[in-house]
Structure 1
Amino acid sequence: MATKTITVEGMSCAHCKQAVESALTQLDGVSSANVSLEQGNVAVDFDDNKISHSDMAEAIEDQGYDVK
């Protein structure tokens, strides 16, 4: 298991938090996702043998947010 913190722009409310966390936890290989609206990021616990950073970034961007 690995943990990565991804900076996400455009999140400002509970709906944003739910959308990003849900999109990530639905991916095979992601065990948890925890958004911090205050810090503008999401901490993701994942199996780096099953999923890549680009897969996670794409899932976040598909929800309408920008990954930095």
Structure 2
Amino acid sequence: MFGRTEKQTLAVEGMTCGHCEQRVENAVSQISGVKKVNASHSGKSVEISYKKDDPLDTSAVEKAIVDVGFKVLK
């Protein structure tokens, strides 16, 4: 169906405040197919909603997070 989304959550190390969350959200939201990003410094995670028919480029997401100064845990 049109408009369906999937979610993926990544563990992220190094976020300590709301500003950190905003940096991650801004970076990841620029990636093609991403609909919504919710970063949580207290939860040490980033939840990404993306278009079901446009698979998430996890490598691009990880690079965006690293480029703004944080580490994606595997």
Determine the structure 1 residue equivalent to 2:67.
62
Structure 2 residue 38 is the aligned partner of structure 1 residue 41: no
The alignment partner of 1:43 has SS state of: strand
State the alpha-carbon separation in 2 of the partners of residues 65 and 57 from structure 1.
9
Structure 2 residue 12 is the aligned partner of structure 1 residue 8: yes
Shift of 1:14: 1.3
Shift of 1:12: 0.3
Deviations 1:17-49 (A, max 9, x none): 100000011111110000111110010011363
Number of aligned residue pairs? 68
TM-score, normalised with respect to structure 1: 0.89
Task: Could you tell me which runs of 5 or more consecutive residues in structure 2 were left unpaired when the two chains were aligned.
Answer: none
Moved over 4 A (4+): none
Q: Rg: which structure is higher?
A: 2
TM-score, normalised with respect to structure 2: 0.83
Instruction: Name the % identity.
Output: 35
State the alpha-carbon separation in 2 of the partners of residues 37 and 8 from structure 1.
8
Q: CA RMSD for the aligned pairs? A: 1.3
Contact 1:25/1:32 (8 A) holds in 2: yes
